[in-house]
């Protein structure tokens, strides 16, 4: 079994952005764009990981801190395809081109996702995050992009024992909400935590009263995440 972490980073969301997958210090790859979203980075990291391992027959364990990516592949994609890549409300699915490429890349592959909490010291997630962020920073500063060695001959698949040693949570489980103290340390691009497509679900109406100051803060945070205030609130919930 191959164990790999995949992560994305966007400074500004959208802004200078990077993606990275990581197996070991000798086996990783990264890339990015002058301007993209965090979700595009997250999706591309997983896509490039599947492409890099397409020649192998090993099962692939993808450690990912993006529930948007995991849910897109494991829950929502089949329904989106049936509806012509539209969501339940009829609006176009975001990042369709990347999702279609990912759909093709995973066809016939043996894989599973494990959700890991980001920014809490998980070694492989941190390694992927650092490399994705380094690419975003390089684009922001106009420097050479660190792309990594890619998949080279000495990239050894991890053993089952190594899987058991890595603390992960199943993609099927409901992760706890990060503590307020942990969220306080997140930077601008982490507003993308709330930037996701809605699942196929029934809708309910909720009325909420805000003070003028609260509404102003909500609008500012939603704008920073590239969302409407309503979409941002749904992400918080």
Q: Which CATH fold topology does 2-177 show? A: Nucleotidyltransferase; domain 5 (3.30.420)
111 membership: H or E segment, kind and range: strand 111-115
48 annotated as ligand-binding: no
Average pLDDT over residues 47-60: 96
Active site residues: 7-8, 42, 65, 119, 129
φ and ψ at residue 170, rounded to 5 degrees: -65, 145
Of 106-110, 134-138, 172-176, 220-224, minimum mean pLDDT range:
172-176
Contacts of 174 (CB under 8 A, 6+ apart): none
Sequence-separated (6 or more) residues with CB below 8 Å from residue 54? 105, 109
Q: Within 10 Å of residue 174's Cβ, how many Cβ atoms?
A: 9
Q: Is the pLDDT of residue 161 over 80?
A: no
- Confidence band, pLDDT 50/70/90 cuts, at residue 170: very low
26 appears as a binding residue in the annotation: no
pTM above 0.85, yes or no: no
The reply to whether 65 sits in an annotated binding site is yes
Asked if residue 42 belongs to a known ligand binding site, the reply is yes
* Range 110-133 burial, b when 16+ CB lie within 10 A, else e: ebebbbbbbbeebebbbbbbebbb
- Give domain limits for the chain: 2-177
What interhelical angle do 38-52 and 96-106 show, nearest 10? 20
């Amino acid at each position: 079994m191959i164990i790999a972490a995949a992560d994305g980073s966007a400074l500004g969301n959208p802004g200078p952005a990077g993606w990275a997958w990581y197996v070991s210090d000798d086996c990783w790859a990264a890339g990015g764009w002058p301007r993209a979203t965090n979700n595009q980075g997250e999706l591309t990291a997983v896509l490039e990981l599947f492409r890099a391992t397409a020649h192998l027959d090993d099962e692939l364990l993808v450690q990912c801190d993006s529930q948007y990516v995991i849910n897109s592949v494991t829950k929502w994609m089949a329904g989106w395809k049936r509806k012509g890549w539209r969501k339940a409300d009829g609006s176009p699915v975001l990042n369709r081109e990347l999702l279609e490429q990912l759909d093709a890349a995973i066809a016939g592959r043996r894989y599973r996702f494990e959700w890991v909490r980001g920014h809490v010291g998980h070694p492989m997630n941190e390694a992927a995050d650092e490399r994705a962020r380094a690419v975003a920073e390089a684009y922001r500063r106009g420097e050479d992009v660190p792309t990594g060695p890619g998949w080279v001959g000495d990239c050894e698949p991890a053993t089952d024992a190594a899987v058991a040693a890595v603390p992960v949570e199943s993609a099927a489980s409901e992760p706890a909400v990060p503590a307020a103290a942990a969220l306080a340390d997140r930077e601008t691009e982490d507003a993308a935590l709330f930037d996701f497509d809605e699942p196929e679900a029934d809708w309910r109406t909720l009325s909420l009263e805000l003070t003028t100051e609260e509404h102003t803060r909500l609008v500012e945070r939603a704008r920073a995440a590239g969302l409407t205030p309503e979409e941002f609130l749904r992400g918080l919930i």
